[in-house]
Structure 1
Amino acid sequence: MKFPSILPVLALLPWCAFADEGRPYVDDKKAPDSRQDLEAIQTALEKALPKARAATVCIEIKEGSGSGVIVSPEGLVLTAAHVATGVNKNVTVVLEDGTRLKAKTLGLVADKDAAMLQIVEKGTYPFVDIDKASTTRLGDWVFALGHSGGFDKERGSVVRLGRLVRIADSTIQSDCMLIGGDSGGPLFDLAGRMIGIHSRVGQQLQVNMHVPMSVYTENWDRMLKAEFIGEGPFAQLPEKGNGFLGLATEPRPEGGLRVTKVGSKSPAEEAGIKDGDIILKMNGTDLKTREQLQDLLKEMSAGDELTLETERNGEHKTHTLELGER
């Protein structure tokens, strides 16, 4: 949203926009009633937007994409649980400039739609500050960022301006207009401090729920440890043993398992495994019996990633695949 150009005099009066220890005076008005009010909002937004936008990322997963935001120079990212979908999953993070980075999901809070992930490629990344003190109030001006509909380098992340219309213990509601792809993206106050993560996009575009930062700070250490916290509805606890690999094997006297059949359109076939291949290792463990392979699979769940080391005509290969669901 664009407002009328800023009057030169306002640039010389920064106290006009933030009168009370960084709190915009316009937050305490029912509605802007002058050009000065509009320009105060514009000035604050233009100041906060570059840093916020640089840290807002697109998160690509197998099912589609969502958004997230970097909160540390080491690449810690906050997003929604329904975007991460689980713990210890490999995802791709796309920066504002189109740089694609490998990342792994950490912990999540399944009943409150909060999640963390970590960029695994070493680097120093743009990040935003979190409003850990929860200083926002009902009616405050806020702005939302997200990669609406997926990543678009030419367009970049999309900014929407609005106000807080409801505050509860585990949710806050704004009238920022969000759509699919925005989920997991950040909500900021006019000082550029992150106050929430987009959770549920309403049937009406201006009705949207966000996870407040208090949910993240309360579960911070457990999420860093990649714990699955709570029960649904935003993520489902993995069920051990329901993973589907899609191949049959037989043991060899010299070690390893010979593949005797590969299921059509199975994870094994999609990973490039063929009849006659020799499976030497699974996740680094030497395989000697079919029971050993089955025992390892019983400890895994649908969606888990595994690595198979194989041999074909004397050539060794490594296959990385994601288990299907039985």
Structure 2
Amino acid sequence: MKAFGFSKQALIAALAGAGVTGAIVYAPQTFQQADAKQPITIEPPMGAPMSFADLIEEVSPAVVSVNVVSEREVSGMNDMEEFFERFRGLPGFDDYMREREQEGGQGEQDTPRTREARSLGSGFFISDEGYIVTNNHVIDGATEIEVVLEDGRELEAELVGTDPQTDLAVIKVVQPGSYPYVEFESDTELRRGDWVVALGNPFGLGGTATAGILSADGRELGGDSPYTDFLQIDAAINRGNSGGPTFDLQGRVVGVNTAIFSPTGGSVGIGFAIPAELAIDVTNALIKDGKVSRGWLGVTIQDVTKDMAEAQGLDEARGAIIADVNEQSPAKKAGLRRGDVILSVNGKDATDATSVTRMVGSLMAGSSNDFMVLRDGKRQRISVTVGERPANPNALVATGSTTPGSDSSEAEEGPLGVSLLPLDNATRSAMGLDADEAGLLVGKIENDSPLRETIVRPGSVILSAGGAPLKSVADLSAAIEDAKSKGRGNLLLAVRNGQQTLFVTVSIEESTED
């Protein structure tokens, strides 16, 4: 199970799926209003349920336990430690373990090998043919899958398809028959405070129901889930609930339980479910093709911050700025450039980098699409034929982080309290830049330089300033003066560290040349 935890100084979050791994465990409301003579009271809403029993009785036959056997790579020492752990705390035990480690050394016990592991999760039928939705992390690496029905029947199941990006998977029972099933509901307008009911297999205890409310929606958990705005619910979700359904009061599936936020690994009232509207599209694609094909641009993008917007003369911070363009990507072929700000896709406004990622991911590979970008202060339409997202797009991006040494004595003192040196071919090659790429290699940075508050450091390369490529220190000075003449207090820089480019802003309100 993936879990979130707390510390005394800070809240430390670690996303955790709600699966269980066998040997390896993962009266009226009253509101006070200022200046009011009487408090405002709200009567309990009509139709509030006295019991969820009828709902649960109807839908529970469609909910199953998912038992998985998989192969895991472990070391012999880890196996023994797992056995000896049960004796931890007995008198003399720690001394015995230390002697054993000293005598055993690193020998054959540490040789990696595989062994059988068992894990538990939940799922639910979405068709009478036996298709079942669960989480990808529940069945990841499975060699055997078994589902247990409410009536106790144990049925073999086979994998249909998985989508790690949304943590969804579809399996299907092998035995033919007609099975009770439930349906996703994407048309309902869930509001914060609406009742929800979660069913599943927490801690291996099948057929468990919990109730709560929708605490929030549109939650972004980051990590490996860039395509998902999660529902946050306070119905108890624990280890083993992963893949189970979240219902509304009409027995419609509004979400798929997938993660919790917890300092202990158990429910503290903060659980997350994949919304039905996303689950519908993903599961349909998995049933049809066994995978989900997403559109791909081949760019690295960032949110446009308030300072970035000010530096470019935008009236608000929105859209996504392109930091890098893969050489073999659809974006490169379409003419998108580093520094372009994506404002909309097919007429739909882009709010930030996440919204662009999701919009592009929803496009059909091979389709032609209209991108509105901001380039050199002007809006421009560009037609882009998106490709199919590779299984591992990061593998297509160079990740080196070293730069060949340069003679800092040749560096020229420049504005912003930094010494700079024009790029040479060796540095361009080491940093994965084109042979004719402009840029200035950073040497010494003064203690009072505003660049110290950014990602710029000695060995970084400043590729552009205010959208203009930098071939000399004079170019940087000119970019600063141009921004000041437009009444701007920040300058947008494209900075290369290793083989990654990011945009940052630097304050120029007090900058002077040495």
Identify the TM-score tier after normalising by the shorter chain.
0.5 to 0.7
Tell me: CA distance 1:108–1:42, structure 2 relative to 1, closer, same or farther (3 Å): farther
Q: Is the 8 A contact 1:131 1:194 kept in 2?
A: yes
Q: Is the 8 A contact 1:183 1:201 kept in 2?
A: no
Two-structure CA RMSD over aligned residues (Å) = 2.7
- Give the structure 1 partner of residue 253 of structure 2: 194
Give me the whole-angstrom Cα distance separating, in 2, the residues matched to 1:205 and 1:32: 28
Q: Is the 8 A contact 2:182 2:252 kept in 1?
A: yes
| SS of the residue 1:222 aligns to | helix
Return the match for 2:285 from 222, 247, 251.
222
Deviations along 1:84-139, one digit per CA (max 9) or x if unpaired, are 2158x541000011100011122222122111111111011111122032432222
Instruction: Give the C-alpha shift of residue 170 in structure 1.
Output: 2.7
Deviations along 1:300-323, one digit per CA (max 9) or x if unpaired, are xxxxxxxxxxxxxxxxxxxxxxxx
| SS of the residue 1:40 aligns to | coil
- Give the structure 2 partner of residue 213 of structure 1: 276
| SS of the residue 2:197 aligns to | strand
Give me the whole-angstrom Cα distance separating, in 1, the residues matched to 2:151 and 2:261: 29
Deviations along 1:2-61, one digit per CA (max 9) or x if unpaired, are xxxxxxxxxxxxxxxxxxxxxxxxxxxxx9955x85x73135x23321121111100000
Return the match for 1:182 from 231, 241, 244.
241
- Give the structure 1 partner of residue 229 of structure 2: 170
Give me the whole-angstrom Cα distance separating, in 1, the residues matched to 2:158 and 2:293: 17
| SS of the residue 1:128 aligns to | coil
Give me the whole-angstrom Cα distance separating, in 2, the residues matched to 1:171 and 1:205: 17
Instruction: Give the C-alpha shift of residue 229 in structure 1.
Output: 6.1
| SS of the residue 1:206 aligns to | coil
Give me the whole-angstrom Cα distance separating, in 2, the residues matched to 1:192 and 1:214: 16
| SS of the residue 2:55 aligns to | helix
- Give the structure 1 partner of residue 180 of structure 2: 126
Q: Is the 8 A contact 2:282 2:292 kept in 1?
A: no
Q: Give % identity.
A: 28
- Give the structure 2 partner of residue 46 of structure 1: 53
Q: Is the 8 A contact 1:140 1:164 kept in 2?
A: yes
Give me the whole-angstrom Cα distance separating, in 2, the residues matched to 1:175 and 1:124: 33
- Give the structure 1 partner of residue 123 of structure 2: 68
Give me the whole-angstrom Cα distance separating, in 1, the residues matched to 2:202 and 2:167: 19
Q: Does 1:108 align with 2:162?
A: yes
Q: Is the 8 A contact 2:124 2:245 kept in 1?
A: yes
Q: Is the 8 A contact 2:123 2:244 kept in 1?
A: yes
**Equivalent residue runs for 1:132-281 within 5 Å:** 132-151=186-205, 156-168=206-218, 170-203=229-262, 204-224=267-287, 225-227=289-291
Instruction: Give the C-alpha shift of residue 201 in structure 1.
Output: 2.1
Q: Which amino acid aligns with 1:199?
A: T
| SS of the residue 2:279 aligns to | helix
Q: Is the 8 A contact 2:192 2:215 kept in 1?
A: yes
| SS of the residue 1:135 aligns to | coil
Give me the whole-angstrom Cα distance separating, in 2, the residues matched to 1:196 and 1:182: 12
Give me the whole-angstrom Cα distance separating, in 2, the residues matched to 1:220 and 1:113: 11
| SS of the residue 1:108 aligns to | strand
- Unmatched runs of 5 consecutive residues or more in structure 2: 1-40, 70-117, 219-227, 295-390, 393-514
| SS of the residue 2:54 aligns to | helix
| SS of the residue 1:136 aligns to | coil
Give me the whole-angstrom Cα distance separating, in 2, the residues matched to 1:46 and 1:113: 30
Q: Is the 8 A contact 2:169 2:283 kept in 1?
A: no
Deviations along 1:145-185, one digit per CA (max 9) or x if unpaired, are 1111114xxxx411111001111153111011111111111
Give me the whole-angstrom Cα distance separating, in 2, the residues matched to 1:95 and 1:74: 14
| SS of the residue 2:57 aligns to | helix
Aligned pair count reads 195
Give me the whole-angstrom Cα distance separating, in 1, the residues matched to 2:43 and 2:54: 22
Tell me: CA distance 1:51–1:95, structure 2 relative to 1, closer, same or farther (3 Å): same
Q: Is the 8 A contact 1:130 1:193 kept in 2?
A: yes
Tell me: CA distance 1:60–1:149, structure 2 relative to 1, closer, same or farther (3 Å): same
Q: Which amino acid aligns with 2:49?
A: I
Higher relative contact order (CA 8 A, sep 6+): 1
Tell me: CA distance 1:61–1:228, structure 2 relative to 1, closer, same or farther (3 Å): farther
Instruction: Give the C-alpha shift of residue 142 in structure 1.
Output: 0.4
- Give the structure 2 partner of residue 13 of structure 1: none
| SS of the residue 2:184 aligns to | coil
Q: Is the 8 A contact 2:184 2:280 kept in 1?
A: no
- Give the structure 1 partner of residue 27 of structure 2: none
Give me the whole-angstrom Cα distance separating, in 1, the residues matched to 2:240 and 2:43: 34
Q: Is the 8 A contact 2:168 2:283 kept in 1?
A: no
Q: Is the 8 A contact 2:242 2:258 kept in 1?
A: yes
- Give the structure 2 partner of residue 56 of structure 1: 63
Q: Does 1:99 align with 2:153?
A: yes
Q: TM-score, normalised by structure 1?
A: 0.55
Deviations along 1:67-90, one digit per CA (max 9) or x if unpaired, are 001111111111111112158x54
Give me the whole-angstrom Cα distance separating, in 2, the residues matched to 1:54 and 1:100: 14
Q: Does 1:81 align with 2:136?
A: yes
Tell me: CA distance 1:41–1:180, structure 2 relative to 1, closer, same or farther (3 Å): same
